C-alpha cells in the first residue's frame, strides 16, 4: 500500500516517490501477466457512471428551434459566438463549431439515459444544472426561496425535474454539479473582459463579493428545489482550470473566458473567489436540502470535482526541473484543495497558509478528475513573479505525458492520505483516435485496474464516472475531440449515437462489477 504522508512541507518527498513509481520519464518496468489473473473486482455499492457538462452536451437538438435547447445566456455561449472572440488569436477558439452543434442531450436525454442504464449498466449519472438556465436574469437584491422561485425559468426547472425523474425510474443515482465552467452573462461579460479586463463589466470572479454571494444563493435555491431527488452535490468542476485557462495561461490546449494572461493580483483574486465560492455554496446546500433522497440518513453530501495532475521533472538529474515539478504540483493540486478541505488558505500562493474558520470543515467528499502525468522544466527564477514566487516553470510548457494509469492510483492514494475524505473518480476519459478502436478499451481497463487496486488497498473510493457519455462540445475545441462512449457526428442533423468499442467494454465491466480476466490479458495494467 502507498502511504503518502503529504503535508505541504513534504512536497519534495512526494514528488520523489512518484518519480520512483513512474521512473520520471523513463519507461516503467513491465511485468508479465500472471497465469492466474489478478482479481480486480469492485464492491457492492460502488457506483459506475458517466459524466457530462450542461453547456458541452445540451445544445444541438435535432428538432429545429426546439424551445429551451439553446442556452444563450452564459458567458461561454457569448465567448464562442461573438465575432470579437472567434477572430481573436488569444481566445484560442477552433472557430469551426458554434455551440449549437452539440450532441443535443437536452432533447435526447431519455434515450441517452436508456443507453447508460441498459447498455452500460450504470447506476449513476453526473450532470450539471446550468445557472444561466435557472436564472437568465440577475438575482441581485432577491433573497429567500419564494422570491427566487418567482423569477426562475419555469421551463428549465420542469426540464431538470423530468431528467431527475428519469434517473429515479431507471434506478440511477444523480450526482449534480452546480457550476460546470459557465457563468451567466449577467454576472460575467466574457467577451468584454477578453478585450479589456480593466474596463469590462460585469467581471465574474473578479467581482469577488458579488459573484460569491450570487452563486451561493443559486446553489441554495437549487438544493431546495431539487433536494427531494438529489443527495450528492458537487459545488464546482475543476476550479483551478477556470483560473489557469481563463486568467493565467490560456492556450490552444485549453482556454476559458475571459482568456487573458494576467499573472498578477487579478489571478490571485480569482483564486480566492473560487475557494470562497465552494465554502459558501456548501453552506447553502446544507441549509436548503433537507430531503434524504436515498434514505441513507444524509440529505446532502456536498463535495467538489477537481482535476489532479502528477508532476515529473523533465530531467530527474536537474535540480531546477525537480524543484519546478515540486512547485507545480503544489500550485496545481494542493493549494486549492488545502483551502477547501482544511481551511488553510494560501492567498499569496507563496507556500504559506493561514487558517480560516469560515472555510474549514466544508467538504464531504472529493471527486478526482484525471487525465495523465505532466512533465515540467524548471527555470532559475520565478516566471510568474506577480502571481506566485513558486512559478519556477512556464505554464505553457507543462507537457502532458503518455497515458499513465498508475498516476490515477497515486492521486487517489495522495488525496485519501492527505484529506481523509471519501473519493470518487468523477471524470476519466480520452479523446478517441479515429484509427484505433482498441485505444478506448485499453485506456478504460488499465485505469479501472488501478482504481480496483486502490479500493482493495483500503482507499475509500466509492465510484467511477467515465468522461463522457457522448461526444460533446469540448470547450475551445468544439466537437473536434471525441471523448464519448457514443460517437456523435456534429454534421448529423439527427445527432445519432454510435457506440464505440469502449462502451461495450465498460458495460461488461459494470455489469460484472469486475474486470474480466480476458480483458486484463488483452489490456494489461502491470504494477
Distance CA 37, CA 460 (A): 24
In a domain, 12, yes or no: no
In a domain, 28, yes or no: no
SS3 513: coil
Given this model, what pLDDT does residue 149 score?
Answer: 98
In a domain, 35, yes or no: no
Q: What is the mean pLDDT of the chain?
A: 92
In a domain, 5, yes or no: no
Residue 176 CB burial class (10 angstroms; 0-12, 13-18, ≥19): buried
Q: pLDDT of 237-249, one tens digit each?
A: 999 999 999 999 9
Q: Tell me the CATH number at 374.
A: 3.20.20.80
In this structure, is the dihedral angle defined by the CA atoms of residues 435, 438, 440 and 443, taken in order, positive or negative? Answer: negative
In a domain, 327, yes or no: yes
Distance CA 170, CA 114 (A): 8
In a domain, 241, yes or no: yes
In a domain, 379, yes or no: yes
How many structural domains comprise the chain? 1
Full domain range(s) for residue 84? 47-522
Distance CA 16, CA 138 (A): 49
**Which segments in the chain show pLDDT lower than 70?**
1-36, 263
Q: pLDDT of 441-498, one tens digit each?
A: 999 999 999 999 999 999 999 999 999 999 999 999 999 999 999 999 999 999 999 9
CB 241 within 8 A of CB 254: yes
In a domain, 473, yes or no: yes
Given this model, what pLDDT does residue 487 score?
Answer: 98
Q: pLDDT of 380-389, one tens digit each?
A: 999 888 899 9
Amino acid at each position: 500500500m502507498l502511504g503518502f504522508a503529504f503535508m505541504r512541507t513534504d512536497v519534495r518527498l512526494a514528488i520523489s516517490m512518484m518519480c520512483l513509481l513512474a521512473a520520471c520519464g523513463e519507461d516503467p518496468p513491465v511485468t508479465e501477466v500472471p497465469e492466474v489473473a489478478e482479481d480486480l473486482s469492485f464492491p457492492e455499492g460502488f457506483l459506475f457512471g458517466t459524466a457530462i457538462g450542461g453547456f458541452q452536451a445540451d445544445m444541438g437538438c435535432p428538432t429545429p428551434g426546439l424551445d429551451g435547447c439553446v442556452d444563450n445566456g452564459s458567458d461561454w455561449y457569448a465567448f464562442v459566438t461573438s465575432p470579437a472572440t472567434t477572430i481573436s488569436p488569444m481566445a484560442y477558439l477552433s472557430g469551426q463549431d458554434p455551440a449549437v452543434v452539440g450532441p443535443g442531450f437536452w432533447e435526447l436525454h431519455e434515450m441517452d439515459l436508456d443507453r447508460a442504464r441498459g447498455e452500460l449498466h450504470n447506476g449513476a449519472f453526473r450532470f450539471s444544472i446550468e445557472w444561466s438556465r435557472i436564472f437568465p436574469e440577475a438575482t441581485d437584491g432577491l433573497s429567500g426561496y419564494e422570491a427566487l422561485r418567482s423569477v426562475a425559468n419555469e421551463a428549465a426547472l420542469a426540464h431538470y425535474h423530468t431528467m431527475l425523474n428519469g434517473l429515479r425510474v431507471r434506478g440511477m443515482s444523480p450526482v449534480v454539479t452546480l457550476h460546470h465552467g459557465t457563468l451567466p452573462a449577467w454576472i460575467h461579460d466574457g467577451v468584454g473582459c477578453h478585450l479589456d479586463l480593466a474596463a469590462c463589466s460585469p467581471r465574474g470572479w473578479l467581482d469577488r463579493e458579488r459573484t460569491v454571494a450570487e452563486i451561493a444563493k443559486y446553489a441554495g435555491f437549487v438544493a431546495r428545489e431539487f433536494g427531494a431527488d438529489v443527495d450528492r452535490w458537487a459545488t464546482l468542476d475543476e476550479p483551478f482550470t477556470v483560473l489557469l485557462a481563463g486568467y493565467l495561461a490560456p492556450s490552444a490546449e485549453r482556454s476559458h473566458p475571459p482568456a487573458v494572461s494576467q499573472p498578477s493580483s487579478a489571478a490571485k483574486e480569482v483564486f480566492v473567489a473560487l475557494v470562497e465560492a465552494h465554502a459558501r455554496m456548501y453552506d447553502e446546500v446544507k441549509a436548503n436540502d433537507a430531503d434524504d433522497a436515498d434514505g441513507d440518513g444524509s440529505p446532502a453530501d456536498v463535495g467538489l470535482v477537481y482535476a489532479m495532475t502528477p508532476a515529473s521533472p523533465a530531467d530527474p538529474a536537474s535540480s531546477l526541473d525537480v524543484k519546478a515539478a515540486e512547485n507545480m504540483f503544489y500550485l496545481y493540486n494542493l493549494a486549492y484543495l488545502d483551502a477547501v478541505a482544511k481551511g488553510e488558505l494560501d492567498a499569496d500562493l507563496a507556500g504559506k497558509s493561514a487558517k480560516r474558520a469560515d472555510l474549514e470543515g466544508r467538504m464531504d467528499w472529493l471527486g478526482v478528475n484525471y487525465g495523465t502525468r505532466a512533465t515540467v522544466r524548471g527555470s532559475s527564477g520565478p516566471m510568474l513573479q506577480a502571481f506566485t514566487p513558486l512559478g519556477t516553470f512556464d505554464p505553457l510548457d507543462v507537457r502532458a505525458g503518455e497515458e499513465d494509469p498508475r498516476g490515477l492510483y497515486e492521486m487517489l492514494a495522495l488525496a485519501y492520505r492527505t484529506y481523509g475524505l471519501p473519493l470518487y473518480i468523477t471524470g476519466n476519459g480520452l479523446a478517441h483516435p479515429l484509427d484505433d478502436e482498441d485505444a478506448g478499451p485499453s485506456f478504460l481497463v488499465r485505469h479501472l485496474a488501478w482504481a480496483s487496486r486502490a479500493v482493495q488497498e483500503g482507499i475509500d473510493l466509492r465510484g467511477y464516472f467515465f468522461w463522457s457519455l457522448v461526444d460533446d462540445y469540448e470547450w475551445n475545441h468544439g466537437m473536434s475531440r471525441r471523448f464519448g462512449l457514443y460517437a456523435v457526428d456534429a454534421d448529423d442533423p439527427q445527432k445519432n449515437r454510435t457506440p464505440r468499442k469502449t462502451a461495450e467494454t465498460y458495460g461488461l465491466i459494470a455489469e460484472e462489477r469486475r474486470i474480466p480476466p480476458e480483458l486484463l490479458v488483452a489490456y494489461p495494467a502491470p504494477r
